[in-house]
Amino acid sequence: MKINYNGTTIEVKDNLSLHSFVTELQLESRTIAAAVNEEIVPKKNWENFFLQEGMTVDIFNLVAGG
Amino acid sequence: MNNTTRYARQQMIPEYQDLDKKLEQHRIAIVGSGGLGGLCTYLLVGAGALNINIADYDTIDETNLHRQILYREKDIGETKINCCKRELIELDKRANIKTFAEKITEENFQEFTKDCRLVLDLSDNIETRLALNRLCFANRIDLIHASVTAETALLAYFKFSDSKFIEEYGCYECLAGENAAIAKKGITGPFASAVSAFAANLTMQVFTDRIKEKIGKIFLFDLNRFSIRSFSLNKSPLCKCCGDTKEVA
């Protein structure tokens, strides 16, 4: 299926959780936040959140500086 | 100098006609007086927020000067908090600034936030940010989170005084996770100053009830794209801070 990830359309396998998606991208989950269709998906919900065709996924780095 | 003269230009904005009076009625607690906290506090005092509690236990060194615009070469080695207070008093001698040259913890949080309805988290590390989120949530004190690094910044208002807000939007830990880890990265003066100004603006909007459309959102600033995007916050029932299995009161 196709999703939009950080502004680019990409092909991903069906039945893919957000957690698995982040893992496949080899991202360090402790350093990032994720939103789907402009809604933040809390980190504890990633394993049970399954991506669907046409979804827009934004993953961005958390920042802590000041 | 009277207040009509002093605030004349901001009073020309209809929504900010009474801004200085509204700000003066409150005490604001601010954590951090560095790249974000220094300028943000200065702007707020300038706008009329004359009652400020500010916490920072750092001293000024040479690496601060490119972005922490309240400080000068002669201040190197001095505590940030004392130099910050000096600059604020020079801006407005009426300012009532209480300084806390210590880490804000469960032990001193009550004293730090006494008479405050809002905490600004303008600190520089994730450990403090997670701790302040928990403390503000536990005490139901509203929290503004502003953070910045190289070309990315985040800004959000957590209205912990409103149980409906918590129920729907949760807290910073829902977003970041209790094990969030963020390495120290580069930062520039112009971007830190820009985000400071946005944090000050958001504070002004909180105290003038112009916050409705910012409730429940986190704003992502992308300097590379020159964009500001917003995402809706969502509570996790599994959050250890505010969820059904929460560890804090």
The answer to whether B104 and B96 are in contact (CB under 8 A) is no
Tell which of B182, B220, B235 to mutate to test the A interface (max A CBs under 10 Å). B182
**pLDDT number for residue B91:** 98
User: Cβ of A30 and B174 within 8 Å?
Assistant: no
A12 within domain boundaries: yes
Nearest to A44 among B122, B129, B239 (CB): B239
d(CA B51, CA A40): 35
Nearest to B170 among A33, A35, A42 (CB): A42
User: Cβ of B147 and A65 within 8 Å?
Assistant: yes
Sign of CA dihedral B18, B20, B23, B27: negative
The answer to whether B142 and B171 are in contact (CB under 8 A) is no
User: Cβ of A62 and B126 within 8 Å?
Assistant: yes
Domain that holds residue A9: 2-61
CATH (domain of A54): 3.10.20.30
A66 within domain boundaries: no
Q: How many domains does chain A have?
A: 1
B3-47 tens-digit pLDDT: 779 999 999 999 999 999 999 999 999 999 999 999 999 999 999
Angle between helices B37-47 and B189-207 (to 10 degrees): 40
Mean pLDDT (chain B, rounded): 96
For B249, residues 6+ apart whose C-beta sits below 8 A from its C-beta are: B138
Which residues of chain B does A28 touch, with a Cβ-Cβ cutoff of 8 Å? 181
B69-122 tens-digit pLDDT: 999 999 999 999 999 999 999 999 999 999 999 999 999 999 999 999 999 999
Q: Check CB contact of B215 with chain A, cutoff 8 Å.
A: no
- Structure tokens of A43? 């980190």
- Total residues belonging to chain B: 249
Domains present along chain B, CATH in parentheses: 3-232 (3.40.50.720)
| B113 alpha-carbon distance from chain centroid | 13
d(CA B65, CA B67): 5
